[in-house]
Structures are given as C-alpha cells and as structure tokens.
Amino acid sequence: MKYYSTNNQAPIADLHKAVVKGLAEDRGLYMPERINKLPKEFFENINKMSFQEIAYTVANAFFGEDVDPDALHDIVYDTLSFDCPVAKVKDNIYTLELFHGPTLAFKDVGARFMARLLQYFIRQEGKGQQVNVLVATSGDTGSAVANGFLGVDGIHVYVLYPKGKVSPIQECQFTTLGKNITAIEVDGVFDDCQALVKNAFMDAELNQHMKLTSANSINVARFLPQAFYYFNAYARMVENGNNEELVMCVPSGNFGNICAALFGHEMGLPIKRFIAANNANDIFYKYLQTGKYEPKPSKQTLANAMDVGDPSNFARIYDLYGKSHERIKSLISGATYSDEQIRQTMKACYDETGYILDPHGACGYQALEDGLKEGEIGVFCETAHPAKFKEKVDEILSIDVEIPDRLAAFMKGTKQSVPMTKDFADFKQYLLKQ
C-alpha cells in the first residue's frame, strides 16, 4: 500500500516509511491511497467472531500487503490481550468501554500496535540501529506509549512531561517502568515539552547522532488500529440484536479515534451516522456550523485529554471526504459541553442508571441524550476508566471510585525520572551523551 500526504507536497511513501517517519516531509499526515472494502460475508458472520479475530481481518485489509501474515497475526494478538465490552446504560444508549487495556486508556491499542510494527520494520532493516522515540505528554499519551513500548527491543522511549502538572497516577504509569523507558521531568509546562521534542527532530547534529521518531497520534500505526474497536462494537450489537440505525458517538480531542471509526465506515461498517462530542474546545463543532476551520489556543477543561485547539486529524477527515463540508456534515454531527454541563451529566447519569461516567465519556453520553432521533440506537465510547480521574469523579459524584488492581500496581513502583530544564541546549546535551 502506498501512502500520500494530506498536503500533497511530499513523495509517496510505503508503510515502513510512514510508520518510521510519522509526519510527511511537507508536514502533512499520511493517508492510504486505497481503503479496501470488507466482504459481505465478513459482516454476516461478524457476531460469531472474537475481538481478536475481527481485528486481524481489519488489520489485514490495511497492512496485509506490507507485513508478513504470521507477523501481523502476532502483532494483533499481542496488542489485544484484553476485552472491549459493550454494555447497555439505559433505553437505547449503550457504552463501548475502551478502557480495559494495560493503562486503562484506549490509546493502549495504538501504542502497542505501533511499537510492535516499528520493531518489525527495524528487524527487517537488520542494521541493528536503535530507534529512539520521543514523546511529550500531559498525561495519558505518555503512559500508553511507555507501556506499549516497554520491553520492545531495539527501541528506547523518552517521555517528556511537565513537572507537577500530571496526576500522581499518570506519573507513576511512566516513571516506574525502567528498562527501555526513560521519563524526563521538565521544569515547565506541556508546551515546553512539546517544543523540546520538535526542536530535537529538527536538530541536524542530534539526528546524525541517533535515530529519532515520534509516537503521537498522527502516526498511521497509532490511529488506524483504533478502527478495531468499532468493528467489535458492531459485532457485539449484532449479538444483542440492536444493530439497526446505529449512531456512534466519540468524545474527541485530536480526532484520531473518530477518524479510525470513519475509516471503518469506509470499509463498509454499517454505522448510520457519527457524533463527535467535544468539551468547551469546539473547533470542529464550529466547523460543522460554518464550514470554516479556525484553530484556537486550547482551553483547560475537566475532560483534559480533549483540550485541543487545533485537532491534528482534522486534515485526514477533510481529505477523506474530498474537502467537502456537505459530505462531512451529512455523516458527522457535533456537540460541545462546558465543565458545568459535564458535571451535571455525570450526576444525572449516575443517579438515573448507576453508571459512573468519567468527564470524557460524559460528553459522549450527553451528546446521545441530546442528539438521538426516534428509532436510532446510540453507542458512545467511554474513553477512560473513571478511576483515572478519581479526584474529579469522587468530588462530583460524592463517591469513592475503586482503583483497579492494575492501576494500583503502578503506584507501588519507585518513581525514577531525569530532571531537565526547558532549555533545548540542556536537552540536546543530555541526548548526545546517550
């Protein structure tokens, strides 16, 4: 499969290059030149297939031309060592729980898949040169990437995070691992971490010294595997007999997750329409209303993993539908919620149904409450385990959310991190010594 850049100014790449480089030379996002439709028989039998079997079929349609079948099978089964259940919350509203992975984040799937695919390509190169992944995080991405890449030989990961600005649970998830994961505690804010990473990619001397790559959601190997979730959701809805008039609602920030769902739709997944649920960062919502895409600085909200003022995967969605506002808004609608509305939704849902929403999932649930039409059945993604946002959830619902063993285990480890200033010269000196 060939991959082109959404900016159309970069050379066509193969999968190997798209995964190793992440972003195209013209700073566009890589898109597959074709999206293969899956056969009718697949959808007719999907309810009899497991999450892993479904995922392998989907992965094969995207990556099968470029990856040895046994290796791809291995990568998919290693990535999906957990379940992805669908549960009824009330009436015609269902939740698709995406938080059963190793760090209880939906990003676990893309992070692990990318780590294993990158490893596959490094081994193919056979030069034995270590690849170094740099990732800046305000919390969730760092833990998913660090755990996804943990113990994968040939790759070293540097997680840069702002000192004192990530939650204690999140910090434990990437500072206690050791092995091929180094946590770097930057005396600054998230933007400083991101600037250090960007400068490192552009520094010629550093790139001579070591092979650098990024693991953020613009990478095709990170966002595409999220399509597995949506095929599985459909299968489980067929199983429970509620697969007609399906509306899929995705709490969105950088729009990688919903973009994967839309790729699934292009492959033939029978979803009637989509809703992108936003917090107060309403750039996509405004685009749907006006046809104008106007990025803004992000606003801090309760659902902080969606605090994005310039969603990177918008470029992919725009390209996928031929830059047509009409086509985009006929398939996807939007919703936007303030922190106050998120709080009210969490309370109302808990009182009415007993289901504990986290602030991100709350946007999805409310968008279905507000947007479902007669006869439609809605499935919203619950993108984070409520214990990940324990302080907020406990306070809003006046409860004491139980911390799952898997999360608690991280908190027993010893924190290890390298202190760093936000000055690029210091970071560069540090990397040159590695």
Q: Give the residues lining the site for ligand PLP (CB under 6 A).
A: 105, 107, 140, 217, 251-257, 305-306, 360, 383-384
Q: How far is the CB of 389 from ligand PLP (least distance, A)?
A: 8
Residue with Cβ nearer ligand PLP (372 or 384): 384
β strands within 294-399, DSSP E: 332-336, 377-382
Query: Pick the catalytic residue: 2, 48, 107, 198?
Result: 107
Q: Can you spell out the DSSP letters for 7-51? A: TS-S--EEHHHHHHH-B-TTSPBEEES--PPPPHHHHHHGGGS-H
Find the shortest distance in angstroms from Cβ 360 to ligand PLP: 4
Whose Cβ is closer to ligand PLP: residue 193's or residue 238's?
Answer: 193
Three-state SS at 249:
strand
**Whole-angstrom distance, CA of residue 355 vs CA of residue 285:** 27
Of the pair 67, 159, the CB lying nearest ligand PLP is at 159
Residue with the two structure tokens 């600005």 = 165
Six-digit token string for 419: 């202190």
Q: What are phi and psi of 153, to 5 degrees?
A: -70, 150
Taking the CA atoms of 103, 105, 106 and 108 in sequence, report the sign of the dihedral they define: negative
Which one, of 303, 283, 278, lies nearest residue 371 by Cα? 278
Helix axes 51-63, 227-239, angle to 10 degrees: 140
User: What is the phi-psi region of residue 32: left when phi exceeds 0, alpha when psi lies from -120 to 50, beta otherwise?
Assistant: beta
Interior/surface letters 404-415, b for 16+ CB within 10 angstroms, e for the rest: eeebeebeeeee
Structure-block tokens of residue 373: 């039409």
422 is an active site residue: no
Selection from 20, 31, 81 nearest residue 55 by Cα: 81
Token look-up 């299968």 returns 235
* 118 touches 20 (CB < 8 A): yes
By annotation, the residues acting in catalysis are 107
